[in-house]
Amino acid sequence: MDATYLFARNFATLKFEDLPPDVVSATKKQVLDFFGVAVGGSSEAGVKEMTDLALEWGGAPQSTVIYWGYKLPAPIAAQLNATMGHSLDYDDVHETAVMHPGVITVPTALAMAEYKGSLSGEEFITAIALGTDLICRLGLATRPGQNIHGFGWHLTSLYGYMTAAAVSGRILGLDEDQMVDAIGIGYHQSAGNGQCVQDGALTKRMGPGMAVKGGITAALMAKKGITGARNCLEGKHGIYNVYHQGSYSRNALVGELGKRFEGVNVSIKPYPCCRGVHPFVDAALAIVNKHDFLVKDIESILVGCGEGTFGLLASPPEVKARPRNFVDSQFSVPWGVATAVARKRAVIDDFTEAAIRSQDILDVAAKIHVEIDPTLNRTDVIEPARVRVTLTNGDCYVEQVELPTGTPSKPLSFADCERKFLDCVAHAKNPRSLENATDLVELVAELENVRDVKSLVDLLAWS
């Protein structure tokens, strides 16, 4: 039996009571985190342009656009919300699956909750937890033992179509056969590539939005009786054979399905940049916080990284040290290290179009050399980081970080997520009152007791 059927059954039958408490807790942190990064990204480049297009198209007022308050067809509202949520590159991540699950699952569930009406907090949590588990398993199963970055796929977008279809199907109440159709229709649209990162293009932040739009559409089509491919995961022309030449792990895909939930292994980001940059920021911050020296006294900074990290986040060196645009800065080890050293922080304002012209960061970045250290190569987890700062007087400080802050072994608490949420709200173009933001935090903290998710939506339409 193709794994598609197993996932369809899981989505159609699993109950809130089947979720372990730690999965419920992790899901609530995901929800709050998404709301924060979406509000914080509400004014970022590309968002207004996509919103203007959506308003030109118009359509049935089914679901709400976060922050702006516009009512649009559910697929379009979800697309805009996901685009906002991914625009700061601050959204949650499953490091091993190389996946941003929340930017797919939460905007999909939010739009469909409003579309359906009267969706409880328990059902909202369940749909998101199931979707997070699905998309992370899809990534974990892909090309085991190989670094996925070398193959050019952006897995969040690629697997987001099928995941959004399944999450939508759950909320719509699709039966198992309809769910299989929805996932199959989602597969027919599946796409997403990493060239946008190489070129510093805005489409990097728009891929998840395209995926949720397509996935919601797929579920609505299935509900109308339109059929999709039935064996879209493991079939002869299923996604693993067509897109990955048959290189996948079935055990990683469906092992302990319905009992093991990957949401507990999702990390909440403490810094607004690619997750691969985070261990380097941690290492640099550890150095500047432990040792008292002036930036002007730095002779050089040597950064060691694995091959996968180097190819994605350190090459070409002239672009990574002097970003052409803010997308380059979000995907740059030299920029992350230089920011941490120059400012003893790494916040949203350090990864903007204005920030990339900051001379204090550029001066430090010019002193950074990145080299590949094969001992730091990893395929099963995020690659470690080593930073060595050498001063003009000969003093040398070294830090190596195996796993960055925010991973399940070094997690952010709900209180940490609240602080991040409020920081993101402050970054929004016209932030709502602190009281309104605090109300939203309190509601998410008790999300399983919410009778209708519409109460969340009411607190998110801020403009």
What CATH number does residue 74 fall under? 1.10.4100.10
Q: 407 in a domain, yes or no?
A: no
Question: What is the model's pTM?
Answer: 0.90
User: In this structure, are 364 and 396 located in the same domain?
Assistant: yes
Flag whether 248 is in a domain.
yes
Q: Give the rounded percent of residues in the chain with a pLDDT score beyond 90.
A: 90
Inside any domain, residue 64: yes
Q: Collapsing DSSP states into helix, strand and coil, what is residue 408?
A: coil
* Model pLDDT for residues 364-423, shown as the tens digit of each residue: 999 999 999 999 999 877 899 999 999 999 999 999 999 999 999 999 999 999 999 998
Task: Cite the DSSP H helix spans in 70-202.
Answer: 74-86, 102-116, 121-140, 155-172, 176-189, 195-198
Please say if the pLDDT value at position 429 is more than 80: no
Q: Which two tokens stand for residue 217?
A: 């559409």
Q: Are residues 322 and 432 in the same domain?
A: no
Helix 74-86 and helix 21-40: axis angle, to 10°?
A: 80
Domain termination residue (choose one: 401, 432, 447): 401
Rounded-to-integer distance, Cα 422 and Cα 429, Å: 14
Same domain, yes or no: 318 and 381: yes
For residues 411-440, give the mean pLDDT.
86
Distance in angstroms (rounded) separating the CA atoms of residues 83 and 88: 10
Res. 433: pLDDT tops 70? no
Give strand pairing partners of 426. Answer: none
- Residue 375 and residue 437 in one domain: no
Given 352, 373, 401, the domain boundary residue is: 401
Same domain, residue pair 249 and 341? no
Same domain for 215 and 314?
A: no
Residues 115 and 161 in one domain: yes
Predicted local distance difference test score (pLDDT) of residue 262: 98
Confirm whether 213 is domain-assigned: yes
pLDDT at 463: 63
Residues 263 and 281 in one domain: no
Tally the domains of the chain.
2
- Domain contains 113: yes
Return the residue matching tokens 């009152």. 433
Which of 350, 371, 401 is at the close of a domain? 401
The answer to whether residue 229 sits within a structural domain is yes
Are 93 and 222 contained in the same domain?
yes
Looking at residues 232-249, what average pLDDT do you find? 98
d(CA 365, CA 15): 51
pLDDT at res. 381: 78
Arithmetic mean of pLDDT over the chain: 95
Does a structural domain hold residue 136? Answer: yes
Residue 126 predicted with pLDDT over 90: yes
Reported as a single tens digit per residue, the pLDDT across 328-353 is: 999 999 999 999 999 999 999 999 99
| DSSP per-residue string spanning 233-302 | TTSTTSHHHHHHTT-B-HHHHHTTTTT--GGGGPBPPSSSS-GGGHHHHHHHHHHHHHS---GGGEEEEE
Which pLDDT value is given to residue 59?
97
Assigned token pair, 56: 């030109």
The whole-number pLDDT of residue 426 equals 86
Which pLDDT belongs to residue 434?
A: 65
Whether the pLDDT of residue 427 is over 90: the answer is: no
What is the pLDDT, as a whole number, of residue 63? 98
Q: Which residue has 């059954």 as its token pair? A: 9
CB neighbour class for 195 (10 Å; exposed up to 12, middle 13-18, buried from 19): exposed
Has residue 406 been placed in a domain? no
Mean pLDDT of 435-442: 89
Confidence check: pLDDT of 107 > 80: yes
The reply to whether omega before 316 is within 30° of 0 (cis) is yes
Examine the pLDDT at 462 and tell me if it is beyond 80: no
pLDDT at 165 over 90: yes
Q: Tens digit of pLDDT for each residue in 273-295?
A: 999 999 999 999 999 999 999 99
Same domain, 70 and 107: yes
Specify the pairing of strand 71-72 against strand 368-372: unpaired
Span of 26-30, 178-182, 290-294, 457-461 with lowest mean pLDDT:
457-461
End-to-end CA distance of the chain: 49
**C-alpha to C-alpha distances, 371 to 118, 282, 310, 322, 437, nearest whole angstrom:** 55, 18, 8, 17, 43
**One domain for residues 13 and 100:** yes
Q: Identify the H or E element spanning 457.
A: helix 454-460
In the block, tokens 């992350």 appear at 336
Domain of 14, in residue numbers: 3-270+412-460
> Alpha-carbon distance 372 to 44, whole Å?
33
Q: Residue 281: which CATH number? A: 3.30.1330.120
Residues 302 and 383 in one domain: yes
Dist CA 12 CA 260 (whole Å): 17
What angle, rounded to 10 degrees, do the helices at 21-40 and 121-140 form?
90
Whose CA is closest to 448, among 112, 36, 17, 85? 17
Let me know if 5 is exposed, middle or buried by CB neighbors in 10 A (0-12, 13-18, 19+): middle
